[in-house]
Amino acid sequence: MNANLHRTAHPRRRRLLLALAGLPLAGPLGAAATEATYRDGRWAELVPPDWDPRKAMGLQAQSALGVREGSAQELALMEQLRAAWDNAPTRSELDGAKLRMPGYVVPLEHSGEKLQEFLLVPYFGACIHSPPPPANQIVHVRLARPEKLRSMDVIWAYGTLRTQRNDSSMGVSGYAMDAVRVEPWRGPPR
């Protein structure tokens, strides 16, 4: 194969030529090939389809209406909600799934200016405002190497999902991920 063609061919053509020649994909093309092993994860798929937190709390939708803010009844309802959400079931069939999950960063463990661990959550303000989301909507992420991330950065985390419950000061997570990579989230092309 001509060395100039190897360097200058259109990326898709280059990938095809390298594959046909039996040569390994290297550099950015190798990274792109690795990314193909991670499918896009969706927050809704982390929740078992039959889970209803109201049933776990033994509540009817109407029972919370008319509860006065700051009352003992409200505090009791919040404790029931927290218990139901902290014990929210996960989907065991997702254990070992290679996912690219979008979400917001909630810092846990710093290494200087960089993060080593964080919670990945589905919406802005989750875990910072009360109450945190259900455990099946929080992923505890450990990074292979510390990254410069800030609270509520929107990212993609690449890694293998595990059904593993972890308790932190910011909330209980039902899933864990050892992330091989994170990158800023960018919306779909227009």
189 in a structural domain: no
CB 139 within 8 A of CB 60: no
Phi, psi of 118 (to 5 degrees): -160, 165
Residue type present at position 47: V
For residue 15, what pLDDT is reported? Answer: 40
Contact present, 127 and 119 (Cβ < 8 Å) = yes
- Report pLDDT digits (tens) over 152-183: 999 999 999 999 999 999 999 999 999 999 99
Q: Is the pLDDT of residue 63 over 60?
A: yes
120 domain-assigned: yes
d(CA 91, CA 99): 14
170 within some domain: yes
> Which residue has better confidence, 125 or 120?
120
Q: Do 161 and 101 share a structural domain?
A: yes
**Number of domains the chain contains:** 2
Confidence of residue 77 (pLDDT cuts 50, 70, 90): confident
Single pTM value for the model: 0.76
> What Cα–Cα distance (Å) separates residue 61 from each residue in 54, 87, 131?
7, 20, 18
**Cis ω before 131 (30° cut-off from 0):** yes
Q: Is the pLDDT of residue 149 over 80?
A: yes
